[in-house]
Chains A and B, each alone.
Chain A
Amino acid sequence: DQQVKQNSPSLSVQEGRISILNCDYTNSMFDYFLWYKKYPAEGPTFLISISSIKDKNEDGRFTVFLNKSAKHLSLHIVPSQPGDSAVYFCAALDMRFGAGTRLTVKP
């Protein structure tokens, strides 16, 4: 039973616009979440995280929002750049990953 779910396999946005990637979880005991970014033929790299004591965490163009009541988190990228084109994974602290969302940012 997958406890972290990314239901959108792909997302395409125009350069300069906002990208919103979503992640849902089922276990209300999860209290820390991480987003990773993966380019082809490379290992994933850590992007940003959020603790359940917060509802928002920002790092430059990347912001993660956490809605504990809905068991939902989202990653916002503003403005999106072509170099952001990659697969994005969310993960809970138990290191189980969602299926990923492939983001394509068009110039």
Chain B
Amino acid sequence: NAGVTQTPKFRILKIGQSMTLQCAQDMNHNYMYWYRQDPGMGLKLIYYSVGAGITDKGEVPNGYNVSRSTTEDFPLRLELAAPSQTSVYFCASSYGTTINTEAFFGQGTRLTVV
């Protein structure tokens, strides 16, 4: 059982380039999330989705876009990459936000913008 899979694990982008961070889960979870973690800092919620076709902004959505065309996939798009987007990105999924649920996280994507 793979859980939450993120690709790529590492990436270096030049300023102004674009890229898509991939996230897939095989647990049939409704909820999916994208976070970023800056060095020495906590996790900040970028975007989340409560089901296919539904997405919503989190705490730090500027500079990012998401889509959720299937239950399994939740890609994060960076347009016009900036050095401030250098971070480690984590994708997570959960069954829902009712009691007795927890989120499962991917291993992260380390992104450097130079």
Chain A residues with CB under 8 Å of chain B are 6, 32, 34, 36, 41-46, 49, 51, 89, 93-100
Contacts A44-B43, A89-B42 given; indicate if A95 touches B102 (C-beta within 8 A). Answer: no
Residues of B within 8 A of A44 (CB): 43, 90, 92, 103, 105
Nearest CB on B from A22, distance (A): 14
- Pick from A51, A99, A100: contact of B99, CB under 8 Å: A51
**A43 with B97: CB separation less than 8 A:** no
- Total A-B pairs, Cβ < 8 A: 54
Please tell me the size bucket of the interface on B. 20 to 34
B residues near A (Cβ < 8 Å) are 4, 31, 33, 35, 41-45, 48, 58-59, 90, 92, 94, 97, 99-100, 102-108
Contact A96/B106 with A43-B4, A43-B90 known, Cβ cut-off 8 Å: no
What are 25 of the A-B contact pairs (CB < 8 Å)? A34-B102, A34-B103, A41-B107, A42-B107, A43-B92, A43-B105, A43-B106, A43-B107, A44-B90, A45-B105, A49-B100, A89-B43, A93-B97, A94-B97, A95-B45, A95-B94, A95-B103, A96-B58, A96-B59, A97-B42, A97-B43, A97-B45, A98-B42, A99-B42, A100-B41
